[in-house]
Structure 1
Amino acid sequence: MDASPVAKLGPRFTLLWTASAISGLGDGVTMVAAPLLIASMTSSPLVVSGATFAATLPWLLFSLLSGGLVDRLDRRRVMVVVDWIRAVTIGVLGVAVALHRESVVLLYAVLFLLGTGETLFRAASMSMLPAVVQPDLLERANGRLSAARTVVHDMIAGPLGGLLFAAAAAAPFLLDAGSFVVGALLLSLLPGTYREGQAPGAPAAERASLWSEIATGVRWLLAHRLLRTLAVLIGLLNVTLTAAMSILVLLATERLGLGSVGYGALFTALAAGGLLGALVGERLVRRFTASVTLRVGLVVETLFHLTMALSTSPIAVGAILALFGVHGSLWMIVTMSLLQRLTPAAMLGRVNSAYLFLAAGGTAFGAVLGGVVATHFGLTAPYWIGFVVAAAVTAATWRVFDRRSMAAATSTAADAATATV
């Protein structure tokens, strides 16, 4: 890698990177503490997985609308406002827990509001990055963002969330509220305007309706074989992955015999792999090509579910989570860079959100699936279903990701990117 990546990426990226890292710490402790909180209130797999359902349902309900709004508004301002709202939201939960007034309904409501904000925040941040760094540095920028978030979100926040929850159940949520405040303040310092929606000088009356613009973004994505395949593929895999992860706290405590700290350590293993993948991702993708990266990732996805279904060893589970972390970082670098590079700037919010709608919209169903299947067929059943689905998806899409097919699809998308929005 280049010896001075920060200098090339520039000071605006450094500010964005710092805000992302601090917010990631708060998100990470909540990701660990929320399942522990609900597990302390109930042992029902369905109720536990309902927390994941509440957090992911907004992707199905609001992601397309969020993309349309992001293309009409200043993306930096959207991120700042969302962070302030999320700070208040998670702060309310923290105070309720401190006063022993927590409830399953309150936790569900808070997670739903946080997820709704995330649909706006993520669409804005993904769409803003190409305006912050040069196009040929997108892989590097995505890798640096992934590395920072991975270190603080999982490697540090994983065990920290478990320790804080064990010491004082309200502490992780109050820390998350503070991280959102700091993130909002840092993003407020980011110079520049990040509004792409309307062509300069175009009369307001000539602008299409919001829903018409959203439909344009969806059609653009669906017209391209590579991006469409990636979105649908990851959407299917995310259903089974969310089903598996929604009951991980129960698998860790009941099958692996881990406590809150051990459960947090599993996320540290995931983060260690994610960090490795983020740090070497740019080099690996350039060395072995995006085609090989995606194909190997599908194999790892399949092995992950198989190992989780068979193993009762915390070490084996930790190892496969670490490998999955490497895969997750590499997959993110490849897919996000493709989306950002090939999509017209004025459509980035809508196309990114359409992609996330297909990729993440099904996660809400996955959360319910995990709880229902685990309740009726045992804790390992969701992992067996995930193994079968991952193996089938790998076989069905293997040829789409050969070098020739990807080159052709990329060329088609690049041509379309120059078309009139």
Structure 2
Amino acid sequence: MTLTQPRATKAAEPAELTKAAAPKLPPAFHRLWAAGAASSLGDGVYFAALPLLASRLTQDPVLIGLVTSATLAPWLVFGLLGGALADRWDRRRTMWLTDLGRAALLAVPVAATAAGLLSIPLLIAVAFLLGIGQVLFDSAGSAYLPRLLDRDMALLQRANARQQGARTFFADLAGPPVGSLLFTLGRALPFGLDSLSFLASSLLIRSMPADRAPKRERPADGASLWADARVGVGFLLRDKLLFGLALRPAIGNLAFVGADAVLVLFARHTLHLGDLGYGLLLACQAVGGLLGAGLAGRLGALLGTGGALTATALIEGGAMAGFGLCGGPVLAGLALAGIGAAMAATMVLAPALGQALIPVELAGRVGAARRLLSVGAAPVGAVLGGWLADTAGLRAPFLVGGLLLAATALVTVTVAGNRQIEQALAARAAAEQVVAA
């Protein structure tokens, strides 16, 4: 089944949706999945090793914070332009060339370490350039996938579930301990492995089919990149359903980043955990994430996409508030596992719906606008979490975060419920049939 048959999107017909999932994912997707898995492992290794390396060069927390946050900064200053470029360029070529560039870029800290020239400014510059690469890769990748799968809702859900599962396992569960271990064996080893992961990803993507999206004609007046980017922003703001889906991760980042800002202090002073216990606590969230990614499709078939997103919002809110009320590590671990499961299911269902609805020629720009809204909320969440902990205690960021997350259920019910989703998919299918005729 394809999305030209909107009946399969009805929440009241889960059996039909399950049957519609019978078509297999194409071989090209499996190469894309393998590339993402390799890159995610490298990301997890890098995530653990980068602050460790920075701490060997300086003990200034501000400088270390600049290093670790430099990869996010490009989303704020380059994100919209990156989305516009992804819609102008061949998306597969953009992805494999970007990963090839990132593989070469990661050789810089390896060489600098060997030559004794490594410095904090160099690490910040490398991290920033890697972030620009992530903007281009993610914008092109989010636009390439729906075209590869013909915007089939069932296939997109399955594909996003597998990709989210790989990211959770390799980047969150396996990568950080591997990165820490490699760093103890040699400071350059984690970055060398990350470079190899990007090289493997580049080669795998290079073997995939070229982007089949029709080439978009440039306007006669030679519209600038900013003009192109504004088209994507305008499309997002005008579409209530898509804007509601974009608000979900933005509000979520206020809560999650705010909680993450004080999580280590909460674990030490409230749960009385040491370093090993803290690591196991984080692993609980990753394990929950694997479970949530695997069950997302079934939850969507059972409740409908809108109903499932409402349920995950309530689970996130309840689990976050419950974590803030915990006094022991066992219940805290279970709460984090619930948060991880609900987050992962949301990150499967919501992107799949957006990919099915956003026109192919706008996919890069609209996707970039959505991510900019989400990433832009992260630093606000970090400040909010720190302020709440300082003024009201370490439990406050989790309790307030729980309320914010639960509030996203109201957003979903209002603008992205099953009825609105069914109507949007049906309208999109009807428009495509008119074009085809």
SS at match of 1:361: helix
SS at match of 1:219: helix
Range moving further from structure 2, 220-229 or 242-251: 242-251
> Do the aligned residues in 1 keep the contact of 2:90 with 2:210 (CA within 8 Å)?
no
Cα distance, 1:350 vs. partner?
A: 1.0
Which residue of 2 is the match for residue 281 of structure 1?
296
Cα distance, 1:70 vs. partner?
A: 0.4
After superposition, residues 260-409 of structure 1 pair within 5 angstroms as 262-311=277-326, 313-370=328-385, 380-395=395-410, 398-408=413-423
Cα distance in structure 1, aligned partners of 2:343 and 2:287: 11
Cα distance, 1:318 vs. partner?
A: 3.0
Determine whether 1:163 maps to 2:177.
no
Which one of 89, 97, 101 corresponds to residue 73 of structure 1? 89
Greater radius of gyration (CA) = 2
Determine whether 1:139 maps to 2:157.
yes
> Do the aligned residues in 2 keep the contact of 1:64 with 1:354 (CA within 8 Å)?
yes
Question: Quick one: which amino acid aligns to residue 303 of structure 1?
Answer: G
Which one of 27, 30, 40 corresponds to residue 24 of structure 1? 40
- Number of equivalenced pairs: 416
Cα distance, 1:93 vs. partner?
A: 3.3
> Do the aligned residues in 2 keep the contact of 1:53 with 1:367 (CA within 8 Å)?
no
> Do the aligned residues in 2 keep the contact of 1:6 with 1:14 (CA within 8 Å)?
no
Q: What TM-score do the two structures reach when normalised by structure 2?
A: 0.81
Which residue of 2 is the match for residue 33 of structure 1?
49
Q: Which runs of 5+ in 2 are unaligned?
A: 1-16
Which residue of 2 is the match for residue 217 of structure 1?
232
Determine whether 1:192 maps to 2:210.
yes
Cα distance in structure 2, aligned partners of 1:82 and 1:50: 23
Which residue of 2 is the match for residue 239 of structure 1?
254
Which residue of 1 is the match for residue 27 of structure 2?
11
Range moving further from structure 2, 15-24 or 30-39: 30-39
Cα distance in structure 2, aligned partners of 1:246 and 1:174: 29
Which residue of 2 is the match for residue 172 of structure 1?
190
Cα distance in structure 2, aligned partners of 1:79 and 1:233: 27
Cα distance in structure 2, aligned partners of 1:39 and 1:304: 33
Deviations 1:96-146 (A, max 9, x none): 566776555444433322222211111111100122224331111111222
Deviations 1:40-61 (A, max 9, x none): 6777776665455423222222
Which residue of 2 is the match for residue 227 of structure 1?
242
SS at match of 2:208: coil
Q: Which runs of 5+ in 1 are unaligned?
A: none
SS at match of 2:106: helix
Range moving further from structure 2, 189-198 or 9-18: 189-198
Which residue of 2 is the match for residue 154 of structure 1?
172
Range moving further from structure 2, 82-91 or 173-182: 82-91
> Do the aligned residues in 2 keep the contact of 1:16 with 1:187 (CA within 8 Å)?
yes
> Do the aligned residues in 2 keep the contact of 1:300 with 1:324 (CA within 8 Å)?
yes
Cα distance, 1:383 vs. partner?
A: 3.2
> Do the aligned residues in 2 keep the contact of 1:79 with 1:121 (CA within 8 Å)?
yes
Cα distance in structure 1, aligned partners of 2:332 and 2:59: 22
Cα distance, 1:290 vs. partner?
A: 1.1
Cα distance, 1:152 vs. partner?
A: 1.6
Question: Quick one: which amino acid aligns to residue 363 of structure 1?
Answer: A
Range moving further from structure 2, 293-302 or 385-394: 385-394
Determine whether 1:54 maps to 2:70.
yes
What value does the CA root-mean-square deviation take over the aligned residues? 3.5
Question: Quick one: which amino acid aligns to residue 185 of structure 1?
Answer: L
Which residue of 2 is the match for residue 120 of structure 1?
136
- Equivalent pairs: percent with the same residue? 38
Cα distance in structure 2, aligned partners of 1:354 and 1:116: 15
